[in-house]
Structure 1
Amino acid sequence: MKKIFKPLKFSSIFLLAMALFIACDKDFNTIDSDVLGKDNANFNTNNLNLQILAYNKKLDSLQINNLPNHLFGAFNDPAYGLTTASIVTQVTPAVFNPDFGENPVIDSVVLKVPYYSKEDGLIEGTTNAKYSIKDSLYGNGKVKLTIYRNNYFLRDFNPNSEFGQTQMYYSNANSSSNSAIDGNSIINFEDHKSDVILTLNEFAPSNNTIILKTTEGDQDVIDRQAPALRAKLDTNYWKTLILDLEDDAVLSNANNFKDYFRGLYFKAEAINGNGSMTFFNLATANIVIYFSKDSSVDGEKLQDSYTLNLTGNRLNTFVNNFNTALINGNKTNGDEKLYLKGTNGSMAVVDLFGGDMVECTDENGSVTMRTPLDCFKKTYRQLDENGDYLPQVNGNYPLKKLINEAHLLIYEDEIMQTYPKDENGNDYSAFDRIYAYDIKNNAPTTDFAFFDPTEDRTNPLNSKIISLGQRITDDNGISKYKIRLTEHLKNILLKDSTNTKIGLVLSTNVNIDYNPSTNILQTATILNSGDDVTALPATAVISPRGTILYGNHPNVPENRKMKLEIFFTKPNL
């Protein structure tokens, strides 16, 4: 996208500024024919609300391996209840067939698991950076952290597949323990834990800079590092586990080692029903064994180290103790409330032309009963004298009404405003984003992928704000979202696209699983889904918060119903 917009630098900035102005307009202004003057234009503009159907889908068994990030901790969502997230990960040596030298002696063993942090100014009175982790921290309590040696082997490939497909692991929504489903059986990681590697009875992520001091000659050397879980481990244990096996085959290659040492199980436990949750950056996490060995000079020792990276297969486990019942919704009449909850919770499906037959009035005033989709096409496409669609021209059906703008208007349940402020003093839902995706193709919408230049890779809250409108709260405390579907609907009209269902999930980072250069959305598959929703954006799995929205059921007040609004131009032919 950047290459496309570069040659149009001046006009792009102008258009972007206008788009931001429109996208941030709290009142979502409607343009009608009075703007141009009915007597001074050769076309008319108007808007239309079309029939849609919105219902809940409970997410029971979601893919939990190969996720873009990994949650750890316990988070008590005020709308839903307690979720506890633990991690199981393999470990891989950075070097195989190591030579530890003569008479190696371990000085220390250090585990380091970084958090996701960013620089937030300077430490007062210094030129040293300070860090913030508030954008990836949920809650402000402490949890018990225990790291076990895991004895369950995480497979790379599914032995039951014919073509060596990757092994998928799925969440076990009905379990009260840290478990997963491999497609055929349930794995309870409590049954496969062994040695305790580390225990922290009161763990809470800290944004403090890690300061390490070493001495080189007569000078102290200070090393400042970004916030992380950093702890010293038992040296005798790692001597027996690693250094004593210098010439053993288990240290010769990755496969042998992963079978010998099958990984770590990071277990989180809430304290008094509360805690906090954050992301562990396992991509840069490691265990470093620092040791000394004999040198060629008598009486001197050489310093060396051996690194074990927390790479390979990884998965999150979720234990949900919800106080809100999540169920599959009514696909015939829709639901009054829509429940969007990450960590194996719930999503919403919007059938843009769902529901019963409707009365469809043509331009001559004749009324016929049609499906909502057929009525939509008959309303916008050009027809011949027999009432049939004119043939396609260059692959597109000719239109008699041109869509200028189309969006879903979604209202948040007022109960979300009643919850206490978050740990940073903000409204609980202040930074929630609703991610809309094409269910048929498990892909981003066309509006998101190709017609929204507002991508911001460093600030997800302000990224893709034209296609995925930010949460806006008016002076009366009413919160709403606007999801742009202009190009999505155009494809249905012009090219007979059959993508009429949109999935809605909650996301705290709309950039996290989308690659703009390939237009590929990283998804998490659903085990035995039972309907046409087979996957969802992976960002929804690792979004701790939840929200509650209004659907479009008849019982919903008219001024809170979800609406599909279309603003169109009709030429005066």
Structure 2
Amino acid sequence: MIYNIRKIFTILSVMVLGGVLVYNCEPEPDSLGEQLFLNGATEGVESSYDLIAYNIKNNDTIRTDAFKLLDVISSSSTSSTAVLGAFNESQFGMQRASYFTQVRLAADNPDFGTNAVVDSVVLVLKPVVSLDSIKSTTNESYVYPDGNVDAKKVVNTYPIKKYGKAKLNGGKLTLQVQEVADFMNGVNDIVYSNKNFATSTDLGSKEISGNASSIVITKDSDESSLFTANTGIRIPLSPSFFQTKIINKKGQPELSDVSNFIRHFRGLKISLTDTTTDGYLFQFTPNDMELIMYYKNDKLVDGNNTRPQTKYEFSVKGANMHSSYYEYNRTGATINNYAFGNTTIGDKKLYAQGMGGNSIGIKFKKEEIDKLKKLYQDDKAAIISAKIRIYTDEVEWDTPYPRPTFEDFTIVQKNKDSGGKETTGFTTDFTSLGAAFISVRAYNTDTKRAHYDFTVTRSLKDIVESSDTYDKYQDKYFKIDLAKFLRNSSGTIAGYNYTSRAFSMGRTVFVGSDSSNKDKIQLLVTYGTKK
């Protein structure tokens, strides 16, 4: 595409002054920025160049300990996200997600009173829901069971945000909770997603239909509150287990301190039933989990033993060790036909997936860099912009599942230092322009042929404008993931190594280095030369 740069001089000047094209301003006398704007009109040309794009295999494994599940990064942050569910489709195969957490007492040596008996125990999960879709039901004739109190019960139901086959089996999944048999170590220990702690006792289960509910129960006589539960999934657990494991251990060493307790009651596993391998994935917020035990004990009031109900909340958040466990079965999946990780000629299809799945690697081709270097040296061609354009595969990924938005990608720049050790950092464009820089643009994401442009102008210029030969840049490449860069408590990006990969449910098939495909991945370079 050829056009007259003079016609848009004013717009580009404003952009330069605003910092958007800072990377085009060099100190040398023949700098590309000066060539573009000084002494007359300049012709601009957009040309495409081939790239080497390939799958990076992460062995379906990623760190998923408490630190890597954080979704806000700060020294005191406990805000986190985890995934549950299962999803199976032909391109990527089967994926299942489970969750482990330690349990702690609210305080050491709890006193449950005299003749304490557990009424009920519930584990509450707080999934991510669509708050703008609410269904409300009211029971005006409800009888509250503790004391047979006439009451009104209002239940507000919200659909869980799902990734996968949301309507399979009516959206039904069965969640189960089990006691962990292995000691799970501490919150600062590293855990990977292939770590499946052993379990022993089945504690409870609940079939969900893809929704979460809030509950408010008020007394008919004076409208005072009898019971309130925020939006969540409430899984009933075994009262007899907690009677034996907790209440009956009153005053004994097992409940005396944290160290003893996390070895006595080692934790919980939350998962789907073993036979469930398809449905959907959903996210929930571990730091909002609740484990509540309701019990009654003796209490004399005016000589009468009233035995009131007491609510006891365990700690299943914060300083507890917790981690995610991911299972994959890719037998027969199409990914096996394309995801070879060929760093020499590239792969024809790119299978990007969060939660330990593949990343995308992209390298510049020597022969294409040689062409650009020749243009720069012979014609003083000023690189105005450079972007990697990648399309979703409209044949292999012709699915109802959502295409990524511009916010669903991370891109970092890889290289090797003088000692041969791989280095990682933000792209040079990001470091040059700062956090306000948007590295990727998304187009037509509501169609099966979406495409994405990743800006790599500065990174390309650093190679083309230098005297470096191939051996100096052959180890440079870009790594793209379906994830988000995480932010700190101030709202700024925390760092290149803080991403949501550990709990990113997305997956997409892209067109890679396939010369026969009109949508093959390409480097689009716009450069200007004087007339």
TM-score by length of 1: 0.67
Counterpart of 2:494 (choices 512, 520, 523) is 520
Counterpart of 2:167 (choices 140, 144, 160) is 140
Matches within 5 A, 1:84-483: 84-120=96-132, 131-134=158-161, 139-141=166-168, 142-156=172-186, 167-172=189-194, 180=195, 188-189=196-197, 192-200=198-206, 202-207=207-212, 209-213=213-217, 215=219, 218-221=222-225, 225-269=229-273, 273-295=277-299, 297=301, 298-299=303-304, 300-311=306-317, 312-322=320-330, 323-326=333-336, 327-351=339-363, 353-355=364-366, 358=367, 372=369, 376=372, 380=376, 402-416=382-396, 418-419=398-399, 421-422=400-401, 428-429=402-403, 433-440=408-415, 441-447=423-429, 451=433, 466-472=438-444, 478-483=449-454
**1:318/1:566 CA distance change after superposition, 3 Å:** same
Aligned-partner SS, 1:250: helix
- Matched with 1:29 is none
- Whether contact under 8 Å (2:435, 2:493) holds in the other structure is no
The 2-side partners of 1:44 and 1:128 are apart by 66
Q: 1:292 is aligned with what amino acid?
A: K
Q: How many angstroms does 1:503 deviate by?
A: 0.9
Matches within 5 A, 1:494-533: 500-507=476-483, 510-512=484-486, 519-521=493-495, 523=497
Aligned-partner SS, 1:256: helix
Q: 2:411 is aligned with what amino acid?
A: A
- Whether contact under 8 Å (1:292, 1:301) holds in the other structure is yes
Q: 1:139 is aligned with what amino acid?
A: A
The 2-side partners of 1:214 and 1:133 are apart by 26
- Whether contact under 8 Å (1:205, 1:278) holds in the other structure is no
Q: How many angstroms does 1:113 deviate by?
A: 1.0
**1:156/1:231 CA distance change after superposition, 3 Å:** closer
The CA deviation string for residues 25-76 of structure 1, in whole angstroms up to 9 with x for no partner, is xxxxxxxxxxxx9999444433343453111122213223233222111112
Q: How many angstroms does 1:197 deviate by?
A: 0.7
Q: How many angstroms does 1:563 deviate by?
A: 1.1
- Whether contact under 8 Å (2:101, 2:268) holds in the other structure is yes
Deviates further, 83-92 or 542-551: 542-551
Q: 1:565 is aligned with what amino acid?
A: L
**1:234/1:344 CA distance change after superposition, 3 Å:** same
Q: How many angstroms does 1:278 deviate by?
A: 1.0
- Whether contact under 8 Å (1:110, 1:231) holds in the other structure is yes
Q: 1:337 is aligned with what amino acid?
A: K
The 1-side partners of 2:442 and 2:229 are apart by 34
- Matched with 2:52 is 53
Aligned-partner SS, 1:470: strand
- Matched with 1:533 is none
- Matched with 1:542 is 503
The CA deviation string for residues 266-323 of structure 1, in whole angstroms up to 9 with x for no partner, is 2324767522221132111121112334446332445533211223222222221221
For structure 1, the 5+ residue unaligned runs are 1-10, 20-36, 158-165, 173-179, 181-187, 360-371, 384-399, 423-427, 455-463, 524-536
**1:512/1:206 CA distance change after superposition, 3 Å:** farther
TM-score by length of 2: 0.72
- Whether contact under 8 Å (2:351, 2:508) holds in the other structure is yes
The 2-side partners of 1:562 and 1:53 are apart by 8
The CA deviation string for residues 484-525 of structure 1, in whole angstroms up to 9 with x for no partner, is 223444565689996831112223xx25577775643475xx
The 2-side partners of 1:340 and 1:278 are apart by 19
The CA deviation string for residues 352-376 of structure 1, in whole angstroms up to 9 with x for no partner, is x245xx38xxxxxxxxxxxx3x765
The 2-side partners of 1:562 and 1:216 are apart by 66
The 2-side partners of 1:566 and 1:336 are apart by 22
Q: 1:57 is aligned with what amino acid?
A: I
The 2-side partners of 1:471 and 1:87 are apart by 35
- How many residues in Structure 1 have an aligned counterpart in Structure 2? 450
Aligned-partner SS, 1:520: coil
The CA deviation string for residues 310-339 of structure 1, in whole angstroms up to 9 with x for no partner, is 232222222212213445421111111111
Aligned-partner SS, 1:120: coil
How large is the RMSD of aligned CA atoms in angstroms? Answer: 4.1
Q: How many angstroms does 1:223 deviate by?
A: 5.8
Q: 1:266 is aligned with what amino acid?
A: I
The CA deviation string for residues 118-152 of structure 1, in whole angstroms up to 9 with x for no partner, is 42166579999764433667633333332110111
Aligned-partner SS, 1:92: coil
Does 1:552 pair with 2:513?
A: yes
Aligned-partner SS, 1:259: helix
The 2-side partners of 1:474 and 1:88 are apart by 36
For structure 2, the 5+ residue unaligned runs are 1-10, 20-35, 70-80, 139-153, 416-422
Counterpart of 2:85 (choices 68, 73, 97) is 73
The 2-side partners of 1:447 and 1:135 are apart by 34
The 2-side partners of 1:63 and 1:233 are apart by 29
Q: Identity rate of aligned residues, in percent?
A: 25
The 2-side partners of 1:444 and 1:222 are apart by 53
The 1-side partners of 2:137 and 2:294 are apart by 34
Q: How many angstroms does 1:478 deviate by?
A: 3.1
Q: How many angstroms does 1:229 deviate by?
A: 1.6
Aligned-partner SS, 2:260: helix
Q: How many angstroms does 1:225 deviate by?
A: 4.5
- Whether contact under 8 Å (1:403, 1:569) holds in the other structure is yes
